[in-house]
Amino acid sequence: MLVRFHSGGLFELANHLFSWAGDVVIEQPDGLKRVIEERLVAAGSMLRPDLSQYPVKE
One digit per residue, the tens of pLDDT, for the chain of length 58 reads: 777 777 788 888 888 888 887 888 888 899 999 999 998 888 877 776 666 666 777 7
Predicted pLDDT of residue 40: 86
Predicted pLDDT of residue 16: 87
Predicted pLDDT of residue 47: 72
pTM for the whole structure: 0.64
Within-domain flag for 2: no
Within-domain flag for 4: no
Query: Radius of gyration over alpha carbons of the chain, in Å?
Result: 16
Supply the angle between the helices 30-47 and 10-18 in degrees, to the nearest 10: 60
Residue numbers of the domain that contains 32: 10-18+27-45
**How many domains, in total, are found in the chain?**
1
Within-domain flag for 41: yes
